[in-house]
Amino acid sequence: MRTEIPKTDNPPVKWFDGFTRVVLLAMFICLTFIFISAKYMTYHKMEAVGTDDTVNSMASKVTGSPAHPFIDLPGDAQVGAFSIANLCVGLIVGHLWTTLFGRDAEKQQGPRRKDEDDEDVVHEEVIAK
């Protein structure tokens, strides 16, 4: 049995418009650079360690005691905590989206003029009669 898909007036989705092509091209160039750099560094036995780690290790040698995080989660627990926090924050932001970022009606339409208020009062009086 075939299900008929109702025709709508929505325009067809253009998957590869100019913006998408530019973003995909930028991604491709960046990833190519990263893969080539990684291959080069592996070939030359470079560790590719972050400079933050390098300098923090240098500083730890000066202080004479190894630096350790104030709050440290073992293994993949950090990823789990990050995911849960992201999920909850995403739900809250989504729930409050219009409150946070919506423009209220008055700002959108501009402040009401006094004669508009008077017109409403006259209209209500006519309805009451």
Partner 1 sequence: MHIQDGILSAQACAAYYGVTAAMVVPGIMEIKRRVEQNPYYKPFLAMVGVAVFVISAMHLPVPVTGSCSHPCGTALAAIIVGPFATVVISTIVLFFQAIFLGHGGITTIGANTVSMGIAGTFAGFFAWKLFRKFRFPIWAAAAVAGFIGDIVTYLVSALQLALSLHGNLPLLKQWMIFFMGYGPTQVPLAIMEAVFTAVVLKAMIEKRPDLLPGILTKKEKVKEEVGHAN
| Site residues for partner 1 per CB under 8 A | 34, 37-38, 40-41, 44, 46-52, 54-56, 58-60, 62-63, 65-71, 78, 81-82, 85, 100-101, 103, 107
Q: How far is the CB of 117 from partner 1 (least distance, A)?
A: 24
The answer to whether the CB of 104 falls within 8 A of the CB of 93 is: no
Distance of CA 79 to the CA centre of its chain: 18
- In eight-state DSSP terms, residue 33 is H
Q: Which residues contact 112 (CB under 8 A, 6 or more apart)?
A: 106
Q: Which is nearer to partner 1, 43 or 115 (CB)?
A: 43
Q: How far is the CB of 97 from partner 1 (least distance, A)?
A: 9
The answer to whether the CB of 100 falls within 8 A of the CB of 93 is: yes
Q: Which is nearer to partner 1, 39 or 123 (CB)?
A: 39
Residue that the structure tokens 């009401």 belong to? 112
Q: Which is nearer to partner 1, 15 or 101 (CB)?
A: 101
Q: How far is the CB of 66 from partner 1 (least distance, A)?
A: 8
Q: How far is the CB of 31 from partner 1 (least distance, A)?
A: 11
